């Protein structure tokens, strides 16, 4: 997912949905814009969880929502990870902060 996720607690929101729909998940927050969630559960539970994330109350903050099918890795519970998608230089950080297009 991509969007304006830095102003909301999308981690908490996705965790509540995972518990509600009996989903095991790993939440990966790449930065303030990118979030990857690996989720496992029954087909019905996964479909409900995807619908909850994509069409729920925080949908207005999501610009891009994409799903992929992958192999089961036996996730246990809900885990949050902070990973960096890009290492920005100081100059890039300044440009991003003050010169948004």
Domains of the chain: 2-98 (3.30.70.100)
- The pTM (predicted TM-score) of the whole model is 0.73
Residue 90 has pLDDT above 60, yes or no: no
Which residue has better confidence, 62 or 84? 62
Spatial neighbors of 2 by CB under 8 A, at least 6 apart, are 33, 34, 35, 62, 63, 64
Using one digit for the tens of pLDDT, what is the confidence trace for 13-56?
Answer: 888 999 999 999 988 887 667 888 899 999 999 999 999 999 98
DSSP assignment, residue 56? Answer: S
């Amino acid at each position: 997912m991509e969007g304006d996720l830095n102003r909301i607690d999308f981690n908490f929101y996705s965790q509540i949905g995972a518990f509600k729909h009996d989903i095991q998940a790993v939440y990966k927050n790449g930065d303030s814009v990118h979030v990857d969630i690996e989720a496992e559960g029954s087909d019905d539970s996964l479909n409900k969880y995807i619908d909850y994330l994509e069409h729920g109350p925080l949908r207005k903050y999501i610009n891009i929502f994409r799903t992929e099918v992958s192999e089961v890795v036996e996730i246990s519970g809900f885990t949050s990870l902070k990973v960096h998608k890009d290492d920005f230089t100081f100059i890039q950080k300044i440009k991003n902060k003050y010169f948004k297009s």
